[in-house]
């Protein structure tokens, strides 16, 4: 079983290239990130080449977080900003060899106009990324952490994917978010496995390390592997004040170190 370190939450006390090196030293098989744009792509590439780790994916810019933005792709009236963020993400992903771009929907009233904007921007993203061999991901995010996030259920994500009919559009199956919103994770995973592009894990409800809380990953993840899941699981959890290294004992539980 293999794991990817999400460097948006892990090893954040150091620059991104050093975080990549730390993830390799800790025993991770891959890395992923949130918003790497302030770091020169050449520096990221050098660290990836040195460690041999693949960069699985990154996020589009969330917009103005101080003003309440958490993505732009479904926000009516901000289509130009959303598409600029998509182009930025696709270009950066190409530069560092990342295989996927998570297009962040943002917070909306959940209405038909927002959904139409979301689908149009996703079609744009898919068409831009397809010639580069990139996957576009959409992620249901829970309303406890992000009230009003436009996409909050696996069924809604599946409906978008079916409606757009793009081969490179997939769901990010974040066990933390989906446990809070829906639960029944294994059956939900099995139902949607054919359209899932990445799986992420964290403890529930505190988003700590995946060795605590109400989800038994020691049982769940082997079941997903038995269903045929071949890719690394993304560790996207908050390590707390003790720092990332102090939380990594769970890797040994899965034979990852």
Which residues does the annotation mark as catalytic?
139, 236
Instruction: Kindly state the percentage of the chain with pLDDT values over 90.
Output: 98
Q: How many CB atoms lie within 10 A of CB 88?
A: 15
Residue 151's pLDDT is: 98
8 A C-beta contact, residue 127 and residue 165: no
In whole angstroms, give the CA distance from residue 189 to residue 169. Answer: 17
Overall average pLDDT of the 130-147 stretch:
98
Overall average pLDDT of the 123-133 stretch:
98
In whole angstroms, give the CA distance from residue 231 to residue 12. Answer: 24
Closest CA relative to residue 68, chosen from 147, 8, 121: 147
Global pTM reads 0.96
8 A C-beta contact, residue 227 and residue 190: yes
Residue 254: pLDDT band by 50, 70, 90 thresholds? confident
Residue 116 has pLDDT above 80, yes or no: yes
Residue 256 has pLDDT above 70, yes or no: no
Q: What is the CATH number of domain 3-253?
A: 3.20.20.150
In whole angstroms, give the CA distance from residue 203 to residue 58. Answer: 21
Closest CA relative to residue 244, chosen from 13, 57, 32, 56: 13
Overall average pLDDT of the 2-24 stretch:
98
Residue 222 has pLDDT above 90, yes or no: yes
Q: Where are the domains of the chain?
A: 3-253
Q: How many CB atoms lie within 10 A of CB 122?
A: 24
Overall average pLDDT of the 38-56 stretch:
98
**Helix, coil or strand: residue 173:** strand
- Could you check whether the bond before residue 205 is cis, i.e. omega within 30 degrees of 0? yes
Overall average pLDDT of the 232-255 stretch:
94
Residue 69 has pLDDT above 80, yes or no: yes
């Amino acid at each position: 079983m293999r794991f990817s370190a999400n460097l948006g939450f892990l090893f954040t006390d150091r620059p991104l290239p050093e975080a990549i090196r730390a993830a390799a030293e800790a025993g991770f098989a891959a890395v992923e990130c949130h918003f790497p744009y302030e770091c020169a792509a050449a520096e990221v590439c050098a660290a990836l080449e040195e460690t041999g780790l693949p960069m699985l994916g990154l996020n589009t810019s969330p917009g103005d977080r101080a003003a309440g933005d958490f993505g732009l792709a479904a926000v009516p009236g901000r289509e130009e900003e959303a598409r600029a963020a998509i182009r930025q993400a696709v270009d950066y992903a190409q530069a560092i060899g990342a295989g996927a771009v998570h297009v962040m929907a943002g917070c909306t009233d959940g209405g038909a106009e927002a959904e139409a904007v979301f689908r149009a921007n996703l079609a744009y993203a898919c068409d831009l990324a397809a010639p580069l061999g990139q996957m576009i991901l959409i992620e249901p995010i829970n309303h406890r952490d992000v009230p009003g996030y436009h996409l909050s259920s696996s069924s809604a994500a599946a409906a978008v994917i079916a409606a757009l009919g793009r081969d490179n559009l997939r769901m990010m199956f974040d066990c933390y978010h989906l446990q809070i919103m829906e639960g029944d994770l294994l059956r939900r995973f099995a139902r949607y496995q054919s359209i899932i592009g990445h799986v992420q894990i964290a403890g529930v409800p505190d988003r700590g390390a995946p060795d605590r809380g109400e989800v038994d990953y020691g049982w769940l993840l082997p079941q997903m592997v038995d269903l045929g899941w071949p890719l690394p699981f993304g560790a996207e959890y908050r390590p707390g004040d003790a720092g990332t290294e102090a939380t990594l004992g769970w890797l040994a539980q899965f034979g990852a170190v």
